[in-house]
């Protein structure tokens, strides 16, 4: 019984309620996704600097592996634009594009990344997806999309240009503009225009022709396949490749990938470890956010740990079958979702169809012009450009907007790896910067209530000789000096302060550096005849403070509320507590003084 | 009048109240410090791998420069142990120890570091001192002290050993133990024992002999000079250098340093920039904490920006006079303080005395055994080892203790630069890790009061259908997924939840990623018939939220307090607000629904 149960927990949970209706929906979605996946697999292989068939190999086994271990019902795993760009950036300095070595190194990127993801998944470290803020991810993807689009202008126009950064590429494109290959440029630009128009107008047109909204939304997304087939037909009909010199995909070896694993040598491991981990983690972060946004629409749940395992297995499967790094794609997953996928079996259907293409239809794509692939890439990545988040951030919080801009400009100006590094640094830096300048408020009583609010925002009652100060952030090494400085400023401003009450209601944690600073502040103030008190200390904070001498040094126990503190410190009839304080001349050590 | 005033603000503020009494105290302190400074300057030059006179050069002009621009009354600037260790670590891979090139590169470290500090000071960026937590600084200094002590066993015992890390050094020392130079070892160990004994017992002995506590505290600290003079006398009397082969300091060029600046070449700048900045910043952080702890004892204030300028000028002065990186020293400043220094003029006195030593007494120190210098270094750095902070951290917060340990072990195992990097990463990592697992509490009403507390810690009243949840941390990209997950768990646990009220009293900031997540949560909950409400939103948080659509999407305006929220949502006689909510079938867009 127990064995049965545990076997059951190892099976994907969606199997329980699976039925014939869902199977039919998955089959339809699988067919639709394949129509998008075939041109994408060819295009992203080209973007990564790899032979076309590598893209197809990466679109087969990974889908099966993800189906077993992943947690999303709709994520479509395979080659994607950003991971392909990062693969090219990582491998280009190490090998000649398209060479056997280049293919091997790309495969190793998937292998290393897959092992790392699988390991993180087993260790349940899905939270690493939270190390990048949304503005940074958005800035990174936008910068990458622009960089990809600029890079694809080269095959699109048939201009021989090169460069690592967006600026170098643009300069090179302009300076080589004279060498533009006119037939290629005409084909490329018209393909891009057709794709753009279908994206822009087709859905509306189809809807006005009476098609259902869902179908009208899906059909335009299949335009790449139509453009690809038309282009192939045109090349074949007019011999544009041999006659007009338009570059085409060329021979694609037919048949399924051979399964083999080549282990990296130590130097390869050293050269590839960092980019492999970056590609894997960036892919994971992107993929989880796509999966999550689709799951929310249907009330499904994503398990980040399962996603790590699913994507790890998918990358190992890709490496095993001679592919390159894969992850969940944004556009393709959207199509899968819209086409009605109910389970990862939709991906299995797509994989089966891809196998059929590899077995019998590779010949069809050999005369596919590279300019058309470039057009599909450009139109696809333009959809990733996300200025809305920048605008939103600009209005909400400039620091987030700056993080977006720095990351995007970093990707464009310094390259994709430096961009990621800059993005992580900006994410963390923004947070630290904010936390190191905490909001603080001098508070007073609202009317006769037990509520205390910022005296600058509310009409409140204050008490002579009493400074009530609230800190709206956890106290730690980076902000405690600013907090102490503000306390000193407020004491100087108020003049005759006898009691300082720190409202710690917003303080979720106090680190050791901050506790020590509070202890110093306390003995410093005591020498000047000012008593420090704590109020509204949160449970977990109090638990820790009990391990220090601070609570014992205070004249009063921390107050449950400011109301209680006022009652004692400014209460009618009660003598000011200060009178029991002996005048202290010098030296910080008064531990033998009796406590009130 | 105005010119006068502004001229006055450029003068150090201590000049105003300066009188003859303070001058006398400064003179005494200057003399006492010089007695400590002479052996220290020789010892730390040796530690840095530099000729002895470089240490003396670094103990002259820097004191004058700091006196003009610094803000501490008692800080004693000059060569210190940790900066000397870091200098050796930075320059050893680039030049042969003691060579002219080595001296030049060490000078450039001071030059570059000085420019950086001065620039940061002008830009008022004193807050960079807050980028390291106290446990990390303590772990770093402790690791460095142990590393220095192990390194000095080599000259102390006359064993030819080498190695970059503590482990390598120890292994090398043990494997070369057979080559120990017995006369050196006897001299070194007995010097160390004498220094240690004077440190351990002398103060007590002097006090029991009726000396004043202050004098009794200062005298033992001057023991290094006594040991140095005794050793010199012994070498001279028994010709221990030429006869017994004990290594001595050797020729020290007499006379004041020549002033000259050599600008770094581009390759030198590239090689030295990172270590120079590290040495400067670490020195600054140490120095500020020493200055601050001394200033607090006397009710004086330290201005971190002035400290940046003072230490920057001191390092430029050191470079100008052929010295190496300097900063405020821990032990020496303590002696300066205890000896009664009232202003930086104490440092000026020490500089003048050092000039006299350079002009006439260098010959005296030429027969000083290196083993004795090693003994003074070892006994000095042992005083820097700070296990108390580790113990304190261990009891207070394990994360701080782990940061201490990782930094200390990093310095010992990977070297001093990697140790610093690790320390910064640990400081920030610890904080992020904590912030990403925020404390959250389901709260309820305390009796009939307006106070709400954690239901797990207090006996509180809860309301059916109402989930009151308080988050004790600012909301940002790294913790919002955990917050949303906890909310979902609490909703699942309670069962029939109709209203979720988020108490944001502890939330000082919400970043864009978190706002977007709250918006998603809100529309997600709404589809399940649960209303989300906000309460106790801090002023600055509300100011930002107004730039988003979130407040408009909520059925109720954010409540001023939980009390107010309960009044409306669970009030007697009032119909549950839920009844006005239309059942919502699908799609997150309900922006046209009328607001309550």
The Cα B6–Cα B162 span in angstroms is: 55
pLDDT in tens, A96-134: 988 999 999 999 999 999 999 999 999 888 777 777 888
Q: Does B520 contact chain A (CB < 8 Å)?
A: yes
Please report the sign of the dihedral spanned by the C-alpha atoms of residue B412, residue B414, residue B420, residue B425. negative
Residue A584's nearest CA partner among A525, A533, A534, A516 is: A525
Q: Which of B509, B518, B525, B551 to mutate to test the interface with A (most CBs of A within 10 A)?
A: B509
A323 and A456 within one domain: no
B126 and B49 within one domain: yes
Instruction: Describe the crossing of helices B370-382 and B223-238 by its angle, rounded to 10 degrees.
Output: 160
Task: Give the SS3 label for residue A437.
Answer: coil
**Residue B527 to residue A296, Cβ atoms within 8 A:** no
pLDDT in tens, B470-515: 998 889 888 898 899 899 899 988 888 999 999 998 888 898 989 9
Shortest CB distance from A506 goes to which of B396, B457, B506? B506
CA atoms within 13 A on the CB side of A116: 22
B475 and B370 within one domain: no
B449 to chain A: nearest residue by CA? Answer: A450
pLDDT for residue A85 is more than 80: yes
pLDDT for residue B77 is more than 60: yes
pLDDT for residue B589 is more than 70: no
pLDDT for residue A470 is more than 80: yes
The continuous run of DSSP H or E covering B317 comes out as helix B304-320
In a domain, A484, yes or no: yes
Collect all residues of chain B within an 8 Å Cβ-Cβ radius of residue A540.
439, 472
B389 to chain A: nearest residue by CA? Answer: A512
A461 and A393 within one domain: no
DSSP letter at B81 equals: H
* Residue A42 near residue A361, CB atoms below 8 Å: no
The Cα A344–Cα A15 span in angstroms is: 10
B213 and B94 within one domain: yes
Collect all residues of chain A within an 8 Å Cβ-Cβ radius of residue B131.
478
The Cα B93–Cα B7 span in angstroms is: 47
CA atoms within 13 A on the CB side of A359: 7
Q: Cα angle at B549 between B547 and B550, to 5 degrees?
A: 105
**Residue B430 to residue A511, Cβ atoms within 8 A:** yes
Confidence (pLDDT) at A5: 46
Which CATH number do you get for residue A568?
3.30.750.24
* Residue B557 near residue B595, CB atoms below 8 Å: no
- A430, A454, A472: which is the final residue of a domain? A430
pLDDT in tens, A486-543: 998 999 888 889 999 999 988 888 989 899 889 989 988 998 899 999 998 988 899 8
In a domain, B119, yes or no: yes
Task: Give the SS3 label for residue A369.
Answer: strand
Residue B141's nearest CA partner among B311, B387, B325, B379 is: B387
B455 and B358 within one domain: no
Residue B470's nearest CA partner among B404, B421, B535, B546 is: B535
DSSP letter at B499 equals: E
Across A253-383, the runs of DSSP E, i.e. the strands, are 327-328
CA atoms within 13 A on the CB side of B149: 17
Average pLDDT over residues B162-170: 83
Q: Does B134 contact chain A (CB < 8 Å)?
A: yes
pLDDT in tens, B361-398: 999 999 999 999 999 999 989 988 999 999 999 999 88
**Residue B512 to residue A392, Cβ atoms within 8 A:** yes
Please give the structure tokens belonging to residue A238. 């007019």
**Residue A133 to residue B476, Cβ atoms within 8 A:** yes
The continuous run of DSSP H or E covering A502 comes out as strand A499-503
Q: Return residues 135-174 of B near A (CB < 8 Å).
A: 135
Q: Does B130 contact chain A (CB < 8 Å)?
A: yes
Q: Return residues 547-576 of B near A (CB < 8 Å).
A: 547-548, 560-561
In a domain, B6, yes or no: no
Q: What percent of chain B clears pLDDT 70, i.e. is strictly above it? A: 94
In a domain, B5, yes or no: no
Q: Which of B213, B338, B389, B396 to mutate to test the interface with A (most CBs of A within 10 A)?
A: B396
**Residue A396 to residue B512, Cβ atoms within 8 A:** yes
B510 to chain A: nearest residue by CA? Answer: A397
pLDDT for residue B572 is more than 50: no
A39 and A182 within one domain: yes
B151 and B27 within one domain: yes
Confidence (pLDDT) at A589: 35
Tally of helices (H runs) and strands (E runs) in chain B: 25, 7
Q: Does B524 contact chain A (CB < 8 Å)?
A: yes
Q: Does A476 contact chain B (CB < 8 Å)?
A: yes
Residue B475's nearest CA partner among B557, B428, B538 is: B538
The Cα A378–Cα B344 span in angstroms is: 66
The Cα A187–Cα A369 span in angstroms is: 8
Q: What percent of chain A clears pLDDT 70, i.e. is strictly above it? A: 94
* Residue A157 near residue A180, CB atoms below 8 Å: yes
Q: Does A486 contact chain B (CB < 8 Å)?
A: no
Shortest CB distance from B400 goes to which of A432, A451, A512? A512
Task: Give the SS3 label for residue B477.
Answer: coil
Task: Give the SS3 label for residue A563.
Answer: helix
**Residue A513 to residue B133, Cβ atoms within 8 A:** yes
- A430, A458, A482: which is the final residue of a domain? A430
Q: Which residue in the block uniquely carries the two structure tokens 């060569």?
A: B79
Rg (CA), chain B: 31
- B366, B385, B404: which is the final residue of a domain? B385
Distances A326 to A317, A421, A552, B225, B256 between C-alpha atoms, Å? 10, 21, 58, 69, 68
The Cα A313–Cα B411 span in angstroms is: 38
Shortest CB distance from A481 goes to which of B130, B508, B515? B130
Residue A252's nearest CA partner among A38, A402, A454 is: A38
CB atoms within 10 A of CB B549: 12
Q: Which residue in the block uniquely carries the two structure tokens 């730690």?
A: A476
The continuous run of DSSP H or E covering B327 comes out as strand B327-328
Q: Is B336 exposed, middle or buried (0-12, 13-18, 19+ CB in 10 A)?
A: buried
Task: Give the SS3 label for residue B473.
Answer: coil
pLDDT for residue B404 is more than 60: yes
pLDDT for residue A3 is more than 80: no
**Residue A127 to residue B427, Cβ atoms within 8 A:** no
**Residue B511 to residue A430, Cβ atoms within 8 A:** yes
pLDDT band at A204 (very low <50, low <70, confident <90, very high): confident
Please give the structure tokens belonging to residue B169. 């050094």
Task: Give the SS3 label for residue B140.
Answer: helix
In a domain, A544, yes or no: yes
Task: Give the SS3 label for residue A467.
Answer: strand
Collect all residues of chain B within an 8 Å Cβ-Cβ radius of residue A135.
512-513
A448 and A346 within one domain: no
pLDDT band at A143 (very low <50, low <70, confident <90, very high): very high
Collect all residues of chain A within an 8 Å Cβ-Cβ radius of residue B506.
472, 505-508, 538
pLDDT in tens, A245-266: 899 988 899 999 999 889 999 8
Tally of helices (H runs) and strands (E runs) in chain A: 25, 7
pLDDT in tens, B55-65: 999 999 999 99
In a domain, A557, yes or no: yes
Confidence (pLDDT) at A23: 92
Instruction: Describe the crossing of helices B61-69 and B345-360 by its angle, rounded to 10 degrees.
Output: 170
In a domain, B271, yes or no: yes
Shortest CB distance from B396 goes to which of A472, A528, A547? A547
Collect all residues of chain B within an 8 Å Cβ-Cβ radius of residue A395.
547
| Count of domains forming chain A | 2
**Residue A505 to residue B505, Cβ atoms within 8 A:** yes
User: Which residues, including other chains, have CB under 8 Å from residue B555's CB and lie 6 or more apart?
Assistant: B531, B533, B577, B581, B595, B596
A242 and A175 within one domain: yes
Please give the structure tokens belonging to residue B382. 């042992």
**Residue B133 to residue A511, Cβ atoms within 8 A:** yes
Bridge pairing between strands B440-445 and B466-471? antiparallel
A542 and A426 within one domain: no
Count how many residues are written for chain B. Answer: 596
pLDDT for residue B233 is more than 90: yes
Residue B179's nearest CA partner among B149, B198, B157, B152 is: B157
Please report the sign of the dihedral spanned by the C-alpha atoms of residue A180, residue A182, residue A184, residue A190. positive
Q: Which residue in the block uniquely carries the two structure tokens 């912030």?
A: B435
CB atoms within 10 A of CB A589: 7
B287 and B220 within one domain: yes
- Average pLDDT over chain A, rounded to whole? 86
pLDDT band at B9 (very low <50, low <70, confident <90, very high): low
Please, which residues bridge with residue A300 across strands? none
Shortest CB distance from B457 goes to which of A478, A539, A547? A539
CA atoms within 13 A on the CB side of B242: 5
Q: Return residues 247-266 of A near B (CB < 8 Å).
A: none
Exposed e or buried b per residue across A193-224, where buried means at least 16 C-beta atoms within 10 angstroms of its C-beta = ebbeebbeebbeebeeeeeeeeebbbbbbbbb
Q: Does B432 contact chain A (CB < 8 Å)?
A: yes
Q: Return residues 61-80 of B near A (CB < 8 Å).
A: none
DSSP letter at B11 equals: S
pLDDT band at B452 (very low <50, low <70, confident <90, very high): confident
pLDDT for residue B579 is more than 70: no
The continuous run of DSSP H or E covering A440 comes out as strand A440-445
Exposed e or buried b per residue across B277-289, where buried means at least 16 C-beta atoms within 10 angstroms of its C-beta = bbbbbbbbbbbbb
pLDDT band at B124 (very low <50, low <70, confident <90, very high): confident
Please report the sign of the dihedral spanned by the C-alpha atoms of residue A392, residue A395, residue A399, residue A404. positive
The Cα B443–Cα B449 span in angstroms is: 13
pLDDT in tens, B175-203: 998 889 999 999 999 999 999 998 888 87
In a domain, A264, yes or no: no
Q: Is A174 exposed, middle or buried (0-12, 13-18, 19+ CB in 10 A)?
A: exposed
Full residue range of the structural domain in which residue A465 is found: 440-580
Confidence (pLDDT) at B590: 34
Q: Does A438 contact chain B (CB < 8 Å)?
A: yes
Distance from the Cα of B153 to chain A's closest Cα (Å) equals: 33
Q: Is A585 exposed, middle or buried (0-12, 13-18, 19+ CB in 10 A)?
A: exposed
**Residue A439 to residue B509, Cβ atoms within 8 A:** yes
């Amino acid at each position: 019984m127990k064995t049965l149960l545990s076997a059951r927990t190892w099976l994907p949970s969606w199997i329980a309620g699976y039925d014939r209706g869902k199977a039919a929906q998955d089959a339809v979605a699988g067919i639709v996704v394949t129509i998008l996946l075939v041109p994408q697999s060819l295009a992203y292989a080209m973007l990564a600097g790899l032979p076309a068939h590598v893209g197809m190999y990466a679109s087969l086994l990974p889908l099966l592996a993800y189906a077993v271990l992943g947690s999303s019902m709709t994520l479509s795993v395979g080659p994607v634009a950003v991971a392909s760009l990062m693969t090219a950036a990582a491998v280009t300095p190490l090998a000649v594009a398209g060479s056997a070595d280049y293919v091997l190194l790309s495969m190793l990127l998937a292998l290393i990344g897959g092992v790392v993801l699988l390991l993180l998944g087993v260790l349940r470290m899905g939270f690493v997806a939270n190390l990048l803020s949304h503005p940074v991810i958005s800035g990174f993807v936008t910068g990458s999309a622009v960089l990809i689009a600029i890079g694809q202008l080269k095959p699109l126009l048939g201009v021989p240009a090169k460069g690592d950064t967006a600026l170098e590429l643009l300069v090179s494109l302009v300076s080589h503009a004279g060498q533009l290959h006119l037939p290629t440029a005409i084909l490329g630009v018209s393909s891009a225009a057709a794709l753009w128009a279908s994206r822009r107008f087709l859905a509306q047109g189809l809807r006005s022709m009476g098609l259902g909204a869902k179908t009208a939304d899906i059909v335009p997304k299949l335009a790449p396949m139509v453009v690809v087939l038309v282009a192939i037909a045109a090349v074949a009909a007019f011999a544009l490749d041999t006659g007009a010199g338009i570059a085409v995909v060329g021979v694609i070896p037919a048949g399924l990938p051979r399964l083999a694993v080549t282990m990296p040598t130590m130097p390869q491991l050293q050269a590839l470890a960092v980019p492999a981990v970056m590609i894997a983690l960036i892919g994971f972060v992107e993929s989880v956010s796509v999966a999550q946004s689709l799951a929310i629409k249907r009330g499904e749940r994503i398990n980040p740990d399962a996603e790590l395992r699913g994507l790890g297995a998918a990358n190992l499967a890709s490496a095993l079958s001679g592919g390159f790094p894969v992850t969940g794609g944004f556009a393709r997953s959207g199509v899968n979702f819209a086409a009605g996928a109910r389970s990862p079996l939709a991906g299995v259907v797509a994989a089966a169809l891809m196998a059929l293409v590899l077995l019998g239809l590779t010949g069809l794509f050999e005369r596919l012009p590279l300019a058309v692939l470039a057009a599909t890439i450009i139109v696809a990545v333009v959809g990733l450009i996300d200025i809305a988040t920048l605008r939103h951030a600009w209005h909400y919080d400039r620091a987030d907007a700056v993080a977006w801009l720095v990351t995007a400009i970093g990707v464009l100006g310094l390259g994709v790896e430096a961009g990621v590094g800059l993005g992580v640094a900006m994410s963390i830096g923004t947070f630290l910067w904010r936390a190191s300048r905490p909001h603080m408020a001098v508070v007073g009583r609202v009317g006769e209530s037990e509520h205390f609010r910022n005296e600058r925002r509310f009409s409140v009652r204050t008490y002579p000789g009493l400074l009530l100060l609230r800190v709206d952030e956890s106290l730690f090494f980076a902000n405690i000096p600013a907090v102490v400085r503000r306390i000193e400023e407020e004491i100087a401003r108020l003049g005759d302060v006898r009691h300082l009450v720190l409202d710690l209601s917003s303080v979720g944690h106090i680190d050791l550096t901050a506790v020590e600073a509070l202890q110093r502040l306390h003995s410093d103030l005591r020498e000047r005849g000012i008593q420090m008190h704590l109020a509204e200390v949160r449970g977990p904070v109090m638990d820790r403070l009990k391990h220090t001498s601070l609570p014992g040094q205070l004249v009063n126990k921390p107050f449950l509320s400011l109301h209680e503190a006022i009652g004692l410190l400014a209460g009618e009839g009660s003598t000011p507590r200060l009178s029991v304080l002996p005048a202290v001349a010098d030296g910080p050590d008064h531990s033998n003084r009796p406590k009130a």
